[in-house]
Amino acid sequence: MFGIVAAGLAATVLVRAETLTLVAGADSTIFSESGSDANGQGDSVFAGTTRNGDIRRALLWFDVAAALPAGATVDSVTLGVRVSRSNASNKAFALHLALSDWGEGPSVGGGGAGVAALPGDSTWTHAFLPGVTWTTAGGDFASTASATAVFAGNFPEFNLFTGGTLAADVQGWLAAPGENHGWFLRGDEVGTQTAYRFDSSESATVAFRPTLTIQYTPIPEPSAYAVAAGVAALGGVLVARRRR
């Protein structure tokens, strides 16, 4: 009987799920009315439309591979953004997987209009100014959203994206870090005055910055396998002795 139990222990090594929270490592805003405006280092990012119908899209990136242990299984992902101002209530927002690398340049835009872009910035036309353009103006991203959410428009207030394919996105980035280009955050781009302002990774208050909370299951430590194997071996010895 002990041998059977020991064998079971060897076959089943229980590993407890872990949770970690990352702060955005880079973010930016691109502006539809101009391929020459940017806001790489501003303390806010924007998504939605202005009163003139001009579109803002935010980009968010998290250094997943530096934080998650190799080989971990990503169980769930939640992305949090803090609304610091809104123009409308109950607006839908979506996260789209970015398909190209992009730059968080040195430009500092104090408001939702951006400022003149500098080398290294991403803009509506460029992933990296001046030499690397998007395949499609407005950014290269998956047509299907990874996650969607409706924000009430209250501010200041944290809002969350969860579910969808966020876990699959992060799992893919862990396996292939070079494919991690983050997400585009898009708002309602059909109407006017739908834009929300969100605190960015440059916010002076760390607690206001975009966050990515990941629940994951790590690969069992070799010591766990060793202990289980030792128990199984001991069980085999005891069974052998009983049979003599």
The arithmetic mean of pLDDT across residues 101-123, rounded, is 94
130's tokens? 């001046």
State if pTM tops 0.95. no
Q: Which of 3-17, 18-32, 94-108, 171-185 has the lowest mean pLDDT?
A: 3-17
At residue 224, does pLDDT exceed 70?
A: no
At residue 229, does pLDDT exceed 50?
A: no
At residue 76, does pLDDT exceed 80?
A: yes
Q: What is the Cα–Cα distance from 221 to 75, expressed in whole angstroms?
A: 18
Residue 66: give the domain boundaries. Answer: 2-243
| Cis previous bond, 130, omega within 30 | yes
Q: Which residue has the higher pLDDT, 197 or 241?
A: 197
Q: Which residue has the higher pLDDT, 105 or 3?
A: 105
At residue 94, does pLDDT exceed 70?
A: yes
The arithmetic mean of pLDDT across residues 201-211, rounded, is 98
3-state helix, strand, coil in the chain (%, to 5): 20, 35, 45
Percentage of residues of the chain with pLDDT beyond 90 = 80
The arithmetic mean of pLDDT across residues 223-239, rounded, is 43
Total tally of structural domains belonging to the chain: 1
Residue pLDDT, tens place only, 133-153: 999 999 999 999 999 999 999
The arithmetic mean of pLDDT across residues 40-65, rounded, is 98
Q: So what's the pLDDT on residue 231?
A: 40
At residue 71, does pLDDT exceed 90?
A: yes
Per the CB < 8 A criterion, the answer to whether 120 and 129 are in contact is yes
Q: So what's the pLDDT on residue 92?
A: 97
Q: So what's the pLDDT on residue 87?
A: 83
**Phi, psi (rounded to 5 degrees) for 12:** -120, 105
**How confident is residue 223, by pLDDT bands cut at 50, 70 and 90?**
low
Q: So what's the pLDDT on residue 88?
A: 83
**Mutual angle of helices 2-11 and 222-243, in 10-degree steps:** 160
Region of residue 217 (phi > 0: left; psi between -120 and 50: alpha; otherwise: beta): beta
The arithmetic mean of pLDDT across residues 33-56, rounded, is 97
Q: Which of 110-114, 161-165, 177-181 has the lowest mean pLDDT?
A: 110-114
The arithmetic mean of pLDDT across residues 76-90, rounded, is 95
What's the chain's average pLDDT?
89
Which of 47, 41, 45, 150 shows the shortest CA–CA distance to 105? 41
Q: So what's the pLDDT on residue 16?
A: 86
List Cβ neighbours of 106 (8 Å cut-off, separation of 6 or more): 40, 41, 118, 120, 121
